[in-house]
Amino acid sequence: MKLAFIGTGKIIGDALFAVEPVETIERTAIFARPHSRKKAEDLAAQYQIPEIYTDYGQLLEETAADTVYIGLINSAHYPYAKEALLHGKNVILEKPFTGFYEEAKELQQIAEEKKLFIFEAITILHNEVFDEMKKNLRKLGTLRMALCNYSQYSSRYDAYLEGDIAHSFDPEYYGGALYDINVYNIHYCVGLFGKPLDVEYYPNIGPNGVDVSGTLVMRYDGFSAVCTGTKDSDSPGFISVQGEKGWMKIDSKPNIADALTTTYADENVKEKVRDAAGAMVRATITENYKAPEKHHRMTQEFIDFARVIDEKDYETAHEFLTETVTVVGVLEKARTKAGIKF
């Protein structure tokens, strides 16, 4: 894969570092708006990137790159991705994929019609812990509940309260906790359980109408998934899934999951006791999984993208994209039902 990096923000710096050890990726080009050209020049020098552009159309016409990685503000995702696809480039698009479901469907249609690839850069889908969760799901029996919490006090929240509004807190740029933070929780649920039957979002609304925190309830057949995401307060993050035979849990922020505990009933032991609260306690089996260390949390997703593109693995690409489009649908339905307007 020959990759062009679109933007010069923090996420681009993370991505450039993440792909350093990936031998199947060639860092080919970088794009910046004219006022940020110096930042692009510095990154190009640091990471040996030969092509620098301040005109996006020119980059798409001239670059040797076959794929663009778009790490811009949320509201720029759709137009930049569409333009790249129409120029015959594959696209890696930062989360959240798009602000609107119809935009996501359109990008999917263009990519599939032109035999191109478009991916959402959502790290959890490329994490061994998530793969382990999918394998262990059956051990839990009939599912009864999922609880997800990704809460972190934003470095930009104090400024927001003083009226200095960053893009991540501005509905004009598709900001807010649902699209910025809770999207990770939603990906876990859609990836594990599929499309929900219905969703409801209960946001805490800030002075400018953006959701600074909120809880999403996704209804499935026989159980609910409750997803909390905050930018205005902090608490330990986790993902917990429970069924009639057991439970599994990630005890970390959802986007950096590196370990999983799975506990389920030992059906070979019939004796049962009661605890101090009077609850029945079954004999259980506990399995602990620890993911191998990575160069960076984003490294594996780039390895996967490069493999899919180089091998023209359209089946895997379709699976990733279908999951992403479903998540965009959940986000839009939750947002509109809660009265949050972009």
- Are residues 161 and 277 both part of a single domain? yes
Range(s) of the domain holding residue 175: 128-292
- Are residues 223 and 199 both part of a single domain? yes
H helices of 36-147, where?
37-47, 56-62, 77-86, 101-113, 128-136
- Are residues 139 and 109 both part of a single domain? no
* Domain termination site, one of 292, 309, 335: 292
Q: How many CB atoms lie under 10 A from the CB of residue 207?
A: 11
CATH code of the domain covering residue 30: 3.40.50.720
* Residue 256 lies inside a defined structural domain of this protein: yes
Residue 58 near residue 81, CB atoms below 8 Å: no
- Are residues 88 and 193 both part of a single domain? no
Pairing of strands 143-151, 223-230: parallel
Nearest by Cα to 84 from 48, 51, 37, 117: 117
| Tally of domains in the chain | 2
- What are the backbone dihedrals phi and psi of residue 48, each rounded to the nearest 5 degrees, phi first? 55, 55
- Are residues 205 and 282 both part of a single domain? yes
- Are residues 8 and 92 both part of a single domain? yes
Angle (CA) 329 330 333, round 5°: 85
Q: How many CB atoms lie under 10 A from the CB of residue 129?
A: 19
- Are residues 179 and 99 both part of a single domain? no
What b-and-e string marks burial along 59-80, b requiring 16 or more CB atoms within 10 Å of the CB? bbeebebbbbbbbbbbbbbbeb
Nearest by Cα to 43 from 66, 20, 25: 20
- Are residues 97 and 50 both part of a single domain? yes
* Residue 191 lies inside a defined structural domain of this protein: yes
150 is written with which tokens? 């990704």
What pLDDT sits at residue 150? 98
What pLDDT sits at residue 247? 98
What pLDDT sits at residue 280? 78
Give the C-alpha separation, 77 to 270, whole Å: 55
* Residue 56 lies inside a defined structural domain of this protein: yes
What pLDDT sits at residue 75? 97
* Residue 243 lies inside a defined structural domain of this protein: yes
Provide the residue-wise pLDDT of the chain in tens; the chain has 342 residues: 999 999 999 999 999 999 999 999 999 999 999 999 999 999 999 999 999 999 999 999 999 999 999 999 999 999 999 999 999 999 999 999 999 999 999 999 999 999 999 999 999 999 999 999 999 999 999 999 999 999 999 999 999 999 999 999 999 999 999 999 999 999 999 999 999 999 999 999 999 999 999 999 999 999 999 999 999 999 999 999 999 999 999 999 999 999 999 999 998 887 777 877 878 788 999 999 999 999 999 999 999 999 999 999 999 999 999 999 999 999 999 999 999 999
Give the C-alpha separation, 127 to 146, whole Å: 19
* Residue 273 lies inside a defined structural domain of this protein: yes
pTM for the whole structure: 0.95
* Domain termination site, one of 292, 315, 337: 292
What pLDDT sits at residue 257? 95
* Residue 97 lies inside a defined structural domain of this protein: yes
- Are residues 141 and 284 both part of a single domain? yes
* Residue 179 lies inside a defined structural domain of this protein: yes
- Are residues 97 and 221 both part of a single domain? no
CATH code of the domain covering residue 257: 3.30.360.10
- Are residues 134 and 258 both part of a single domain? yes
- Are residues 27 and 73 both part of a single domain? yes
* Residue 111 lies inside a defined structural domain of this protein: yes
Residue 334 near residue 199, CB atoms below 8 Å: yes
